[in-house]
């Protein structure tokens, strides 16, 4: 069973992890702003560090980072979207389906190393595909409900709007249009989030537990 939190946390570890969660949320915001505002690449990658924290430290820290990543801009802009539910759902999926970290002992034969990383890559690929589908469906539903009940429409252009006319011309239902138009985008950005978050988590674990590792080796 995957842990909700790291085991055996003392007071210092809790403080250290809390600071790390805040930094991860800020990195999510900066990374998303860098891609969209500076590079002009409209990808939804504001969950890379939420994924990394979840891979490394469990469900609760991952949810905290996901919520903070939405809450900080919401307070600044005085506006909040229900798409935060997509971020939380992704964290839950990562926590439930994440592969174990490939902790390979020294002098392990090359064939076993390749086999271990192949298994990890395969599990990450399955997780990636599930996240593409789940986030597309949930995001489409969240976008569709205001149109259905409040009769409102988006007042801004989003990248998935590029793909909507094709489905509309084929007379797809509105909900299906909202879901299907997100899939091409999520195929790209979920790959960055899942694989990027996993490899970042390996670095975070080495840094976070460096003191404990030194003590074990001594």
Is 147 contained in some domain? yes
CATH number of the domain within which 51 lies = 1.10.1760
Average pLDDT, integer, range 84-103: 90
Picking from 124, 106, 109, the residue whose alpha carbon sits closest to that of residue 54 is 124
Over range 152-170, report the average pLDDT: 76
Residue 157 confidence class, pLDDT cut points 50, 70, 90: low
For residue 21 the two structure tokens come to 């969660």
Neighbours of 115 (CB within 10 A): 11
Taking residue 16's Cβ as centre, other Cβ atoms within 10 Å add up to: 14
Mean pLDDT for all residues in the chain:
86
Determine the pLDDT at residue 216. 39
Considering the domain boundaries, does residue 191 fall inside one? Answer: yes
Percent over 90 (pLDDT), the chain = 51
Q: Look at residue 116 in the predicted model and tell me its pLDDT.
A: 83
Q: Is the pLDDT of residue 143 over 90?
A: no
215 band by pLDDT with thresholds 50, 70 and 90: very low
Whether 212 has a pLDDT exceeding 90, the answer reads no
Q: Which helix (H) or strand (E) holds 186?
A: helix 183-208
Q: How many CA atoms lie within 13 A of 178 on its CB side?
A: 18
Number of folded domains that form the chain: 1
Checking if the pLDDT of 74 tops 90, the result is no
Say if 1 falls within a structural domain.
Answer: no
| pLDDT recorded at residue 53 | 97
In this predicted structure, what is the pLDDT of residue 152? 55
Residues above pLDDT 70, as percent of the chain: 87
Residue 6 lies in a domain: no
pLDDT at residue 193, rounded to an integer: 97
What pLDDT was estimated at residue 38?
Answer: 86
How far is CA 81 from each of CA 30, 69, 74, rounded to the nearest angstrom?
18, 12, 8
Q: Is residue 98 part of a domain?
A: yes
Whether the Cβ atoms of residue 51 and residue 91 lie closer than 8 Å to each other: yes
Specify the range with the lowest mean pLDDT, choosing from 16-20, 73-77, 189-193, 214-218: 214-218
104 in a domain, yes or no? yes
Using pLDDT thresholds of 50, 70 and 90, give the confidence band for residue 218: very low
213 part of a folded domain: yes
| Chain centre to alpha carbon of residue 96 | 13
**Range(s) of the domain holding residue 204:** 11-217
**Is 67 part of a structural domain of the chain?**
yes
Q: Are 53 and 65 in contact (CB under 8 A)?
A: yes
In tens, the pLDDT along 4-48 reads: 777 777 788 888 999 999 999 999 999 998 988 888 888 889 999
């Amino acid at each position: 069973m995957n842990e909700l939190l790291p085991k055996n946390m003392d007071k210092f570890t809790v403080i250290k992890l809390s600071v790390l969660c805040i930094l991860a949320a800020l990195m999510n915001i900066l990374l998303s702003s860098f891609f969209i505002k500076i590079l002009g690449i409209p990808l939804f990658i504001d969950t890379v560090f939420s994924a990394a924290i979840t891979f490394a430290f469990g469900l609760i820290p991952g949810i905290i980072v996901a919520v903070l990543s939405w809450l900080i801009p919401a307070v600044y802009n005085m506006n909040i979207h229900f798409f935060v539910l997509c971020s939380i759902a992704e964290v839950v999926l990562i926590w439930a389906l994440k592969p174990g970290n490939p902790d390979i002992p020294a002098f392990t034969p090359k064939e076993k190393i390749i086999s271990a990383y192949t298994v990890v890559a395969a599990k990450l690929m399955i997780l990636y595909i599930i996240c593409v589908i789940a986030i597309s469906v949930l995001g489409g539903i969240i976008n569709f409900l205001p149109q259905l009940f409040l009769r409102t429409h988006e007042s801004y252009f989003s990248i998935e709007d590029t793909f909507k006319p094709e489905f509309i011309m084929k007379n797809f239902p509105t909900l299906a249009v909202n879901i299907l138009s997100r899939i091409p985008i999520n195929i790209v950005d979920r790959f960055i989030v899942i694989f990027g978050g996993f490899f970042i988590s390996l670095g975070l674990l080495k840094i976070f537990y460096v003191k404990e590792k030194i003590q074990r080796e001594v």
